[in-house]
């Protein structure tokens, strides 16, 4: 698989990031309006730009003695991690922006650092509600992270490789979603957690007045919201839905189509399912979901014999 | 040129509104979520317009002033009230007053004017200084151990203390409310927290004054079902279901039976999420919510007159987010009777 010229890679990542954030914003708006029972006119396509423009013209907030560096760094880190995740996605049989031999390991690292970014965002504001949100996210994050490890290892077993490109190739003729049926639902739970979205939106919930964002406005808020949407997008179709594979259409288009489908599922889950209380999620995660991820791993191991 | 285009785009966005519900507002302002021109936000930091709904006498006015200054510039304030001649808090000195049934036109106009620069941003009303001078040791100074504890600048600082898990986490005393999402009008919580766990809690209702309600202003006497739907819309926001909250607000405004909406709420998992939270006299938040979802059902019996101190005592040891849910669940009333006592005027 070929790589990309050094100068072109950041440009392409930026384009993918912008496109992904926009697509996720529109899909979220559309699914939200579907649930709300309000119409979806053509103006919905411009809505993300209008909301972004308003956020940009608003002045960034200041709290008393925040950790300014960390407060600014957290959204940038979150967005950067989403960008790194997108860069790992193989777009065709011969092309990925970052063709890393241990792509799955890099992805696991990204998920771990997402927890750091979200915690820092809540902690550095020096304010109560963001701090409480950061603490409760930490409990959720540490729990779902274990699921991700086992699910990703299971996906790597049939490929006999940690490279995302090889994992896509190994799904020729039989996608992992069929071969490892537990994997995709568990992975989507990780996606909801990493983007702190819907039932797992424990970091930015209304019950804590916006959680880690309770004291944030202006450009930092825009970056944070964009990062959450980008993080949803980066959980693309690589690991379970065959990546670029599919008939008739070119590989990159298949990746886009599958990514949009995943986004629709995640956005719909966000609007249709209530936030899960932290303690209950942690219990469910350790008692039910984690054993299921062991089963997923065992199924993958037996299948590889 | 580019800035002008940016401002025009910003002005045409749905207006992010933070609602401060005061005396006489009830849950009526929640219905504004039904209007696509506005978007209700959970924090004043996310808003461009502060909608002050109802009366704000004394401490309510002081709380409103503090919230007002948290909105980022450019910002505007709109006062939706039947009693504009009553005391006007400093935050509302330059605010547009809406003495009618629907403030959205005025909200949109105020938003556009401030974002486009046609009207000045509403100025700060409080000084950006600590509430007290720092005096070293003493009432407004250090008083704990090392760099912890005491009340520097008059604000309690976290200090380690024993807790249920033996972790000796920091214990922090704060006042929250009266405009938190899910809180009934005027409700303020004074709470000591260790991590997210409530160690001490007292609930008080600030003076909401006397006068006409916003429903009186609109010449409407909402049915009990409409009042329930208003509350339900707020509860759904607290539960993380903003789109369903909009759907419910539309149903409330249109006087729907909202059968499909109630079915969606039942399938959302909110009842499961709220089960076991805020249990008092055998009823928890989920059972109170379930009661509210039944159009013909009465308000849950036996809890129509729960004193706030008893409610507060029952919530000690809970996670703060669960306390918010529990308090929100008590905001459900079949009519305009206070529930818990005196918090829903």
Q: 3-state SS of B296-317?
A: CCCCCCCCCCCCHHHHHHHHCC
Give the model's pLDDT for residue B140: 59
pLDDT surpassing 50 at residue B337? no
Q: Are A58 and B48 in contact (CB under 8 A)?
A: yes
Whole-angstrom distance, CA of residue A140 vs CA of residue A293: 16
Nearest CA in chain A to B235: A207
B27-84 pLDDT, tens digit each: 999 999 999 999 999 999 999 999 999 999 999 999 999 999 999 999 999 999 988 7
Contact between chains at A53 and B6 (C-beta distance less than 8 A): yes
Number of CB atoms found within 10 A of residue A33's CB: 20
Q: Are B25 and B103 in contact (CB under 8 A)?
A: no
Contact between chains at A136 and B196 (C-beta distance less than 8 A): yes
Contacts of A10 (CB under 8 A, 6+ apart): none
Q: Are B224 and B329 in contact (CB under 8 A)?
A: no
Range of A38-42, A57-61, B302-306 with top mean pLDDT: A57-61
Range of A264-268, B82-86, B143-147 with top mean pLDDT: A264-268
DSSP bridge partners of B21: B53
Contacts of A6 (CB under 8 A, 6+ apart): none
Query: How confident is the model over A24-30, as a mean pLDDT?
Result: 95
Query: How confident is the model over B229-241, as a mean pLDDT?
Result: 94
pLDDT surpassing 60 at residue B334? no
Give just the sign of the alpha carbon dihedral A143, B160, A121, B115. positive
ipTM above 0.90, yes or no: yes
Which residue, B330, B323, B328, B289, is CA-closest to B307? B330
Give the model's pLDDT for residue B187: 92
Whole-angstrom distance, CA of residue A85 vs CA of residue A68: 26
pLDDT surpassing 90 at residue A213? yes
Nearest CA in chain B to A277: B273
| Distance between B342 CA and the closest CA of chain A, angstroms | 22
Q: Are A171 and A242 in contact (CB under 8 A)?
A: yes
Size of interface A-B (CB pairs under 8 A): 156
Domain boundaries, chain B: 2-115, 221-330
Nearest CA in chain B to A198: B240
Report the mean per-residue pLDDT for chain B.
Answer: 85
Report the mean per-residue pLDDT for chain A.
Answer: 91
DSSP structural state of residue B146:
T
Contact between chains at B243 and A271 (C-beta distance less than 8 A): yes
What percent of chain B lies above the pLDDT cut of 90? 57
Q: Thinking of the domain B2-115, which architecture would CATH place it in?
A: 3-Layer(aba) Sandwich (3.40)
Specify the pairing of strand B159-160 against strand B96-98: unpaired
Q: How confident is the model at residue B146 (pLDDT cuts 50, 70, 90)?
A: low
Please tell me the least confidently modeled range out of A109-118, B154-163, B178-187: B154-163
Domain boundaries, chain A: 8-304
- B189 is written with which tokens? 């919580």
Contact between chains at A136 and B239 (C-beta distance less than 8 A): no
Q: Judge residue A5's burial from the number of C-beta atoms within 10 Å of its C-beta, 0-12 exposed, 13-18 middle, 19 or more buried.
A: exposed
Q: How confident is the model at residue A244 (pLDDT cuts 50, 70, 90)?
A: confident
Number of CB atoms found within 10 A of residue B176's CB: 20
Q: Are A123 and A156 in contact (CB under 8 A)?
A: no
Q: Are A210 and A56 in contact (CB under 8 A)?
A: no
């Amino acid at each position: 698989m070929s790589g990309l010229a050094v100068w072109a890679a950041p440009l392409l990542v930026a384009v993918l990031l912008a496109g992904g954030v926009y697509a996720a914003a529109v899909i979220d708006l559309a699914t939200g309006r579907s649930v709300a029972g309000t119409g979806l006119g053509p103006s919905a396509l411009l809505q993300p730009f209008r909301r972004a423009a308003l956020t940009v013209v608003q002045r960034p907030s200041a709290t008393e003695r925040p950790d300014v560096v960390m407060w600014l760094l957290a959204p940038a880190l979150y967005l950067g991690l989403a960008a790194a995740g997108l860069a790992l996605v193989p777009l065709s049989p011969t092309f990925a922006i970052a063709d890393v031999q241990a792509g799955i390991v890099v992805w696991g690292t990204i998920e771990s650092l997402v927890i750091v970014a979200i915690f820092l965002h809540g902690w550095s504001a020096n304010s109560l509600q963001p701090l409480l949100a950061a603490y409760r996210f930490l409990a959720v994050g540490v729990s779902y992270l274990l699921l991700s490890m086992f699910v990703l290892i299971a996906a790597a077993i049939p490929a006999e490789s940690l490279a995302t490109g090889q994992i896509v190739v190994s799904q020729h003729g039989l996608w992992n979603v069929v071969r490892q049926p537990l994997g995709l639902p568990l992975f989507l739970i990780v996606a909801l957690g990493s983007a702190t979205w819907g039932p797992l939106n424990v970091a930015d919930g209304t019950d804590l007045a916006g959680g880690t964002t309770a004291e944030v406005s202006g450009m930092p808020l825009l970056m944070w919201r964009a990062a959450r949407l980008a993080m949803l997008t980066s959980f693309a179709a690589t690991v379970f839905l065959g990546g670029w594979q599919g008939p008739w259409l070119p590989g990159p288009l298949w990746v886009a189509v599958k990514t949009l489908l995943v986004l629709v599922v995640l956005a719909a889950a966000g609007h249709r399912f209530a936030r899960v209380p932290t303690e209950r999620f942690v219990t469910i995660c350790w008692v039910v979901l984690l054993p299921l991820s062991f089963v997923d791993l065992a199924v993958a191991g037996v299948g590889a014999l | 040129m580019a800035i002008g285009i940016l401002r025009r785009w910003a002005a045409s966005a749905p207006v992010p509104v933070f609602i401060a519900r005061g005396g006489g507002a009830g849950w009526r302002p929640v219905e504004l979520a039904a209007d696509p021109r506005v978007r209700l936000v959970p924090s004043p930091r996310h808003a461009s317009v502060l909608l002050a709904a109802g009366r704000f006498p004394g401490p309510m006015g002081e709380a409103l002033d503090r919230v007002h200054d948290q909105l980022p510039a450019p910002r505007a304030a709109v006062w939706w009230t039947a009693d504009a001649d009553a005391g006007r808090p400093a935050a509302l000195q330059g605010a547009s007053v809406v003495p009618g049934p629907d403030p959205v036109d005025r909200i949109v106009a105020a938003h556009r004017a401030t974002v486009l620069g046609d009207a000045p941003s509403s100025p700060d009303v409080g000084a950006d200084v600590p509430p007290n001078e720092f005096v070293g040791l003493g009432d407004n100074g250090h008083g704990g151990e090392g760099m912890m504890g005491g009340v520097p600048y008059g604000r309690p600082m976290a200090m380690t203390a024993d807790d249920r898990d033996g972790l000796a986490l920091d214990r922090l005393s704060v006042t929250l409310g009266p405009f938190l999402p899910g809180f009934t009008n005027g409700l303020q919580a004074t709470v000591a927290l260790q991590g997210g766990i409530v160690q001490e809690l007292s609930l008080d209702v600030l003076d909401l004054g006397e006068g006409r309600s916003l429903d009186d202003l609109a010449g409407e006497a909402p049915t009990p079902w409409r009042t329930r739907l208003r509350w339900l819309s707020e509860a759904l926001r607290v539960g993380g279901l903003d789109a369903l909250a909009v759907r419910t607000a539309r149903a409330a405004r249109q006087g729907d039976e909202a059968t499909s909406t109630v079915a969606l709420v039942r399938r959302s998992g909110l009842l499961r999420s709220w089960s076991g939270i805020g249990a008092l006299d055998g009823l928890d938040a989920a059972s109170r919510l379930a009661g509210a979802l039944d159009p013909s059902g009465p308000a849950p019996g036996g809890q129509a007159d729960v004193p706030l101190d008893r409610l507060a005592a029952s919530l000690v040891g809970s996670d703060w987010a669960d306390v918010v849910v529990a308090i929100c669940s008590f905001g459900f009333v079949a009519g305009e009777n206070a529930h818990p006592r005196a918090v829903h005027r």
